[in-house]
Amino acid sequence: MPEQREWIQAYSPYQKLVPGQTYPAPFILTSTKDDRVHPAPGRKAAARLAGLGQPYFYYENLDGGHSAAANLIEDARRAALEYTYASGRLGLSAVEKKGR
């Protein structure tokens, strides 16, 4: 419905990506076999950021479903990626290098 599209576009981060702006590098996490949310929106966002020359981190799990993990190893990998991204964004790795 057109009115729903207009409403979503008003808050959609994807719709707000424009040339000439600098954005923080997002971590886009998706799953190829997600049975509820197709990985296309994540792929599309990554392509848009790449086209704008913006940094981003992208991970697509090939086997996991909606929770992005088919087994404990994949779940641990996803968690490690999320914690690594978050600690990097918070600057924790720089603090560790200073020996604190």
Could you write out the DSSP letters of every residue in 77-99? HHHHHHHHHHHHHHTHHHHHHTT
Structural domain contains residue 16: no
Structural domain contains residue 7: no
Pick from 85, 25, 29: nearest CA to 49: 25
Structural domain contains residue 3: no
Number of domains in the chain: 1
pLDDT values of the chain reduced to their tens digit, one per residue, 100 residues = 888 888 888 888 888 899 999 999 999 999 888 888 899 999 999 999 999 999 999 999 887 777 666 688 888 888 999 999 999 988 865 545 555 4
User: The domain containing residue 86 runs over which residues?
Assistant: 24-97
Neighbour-count burial for 69-82, b at 16+ CB within 10 Å, e otherwise: beeeebeebbeebe
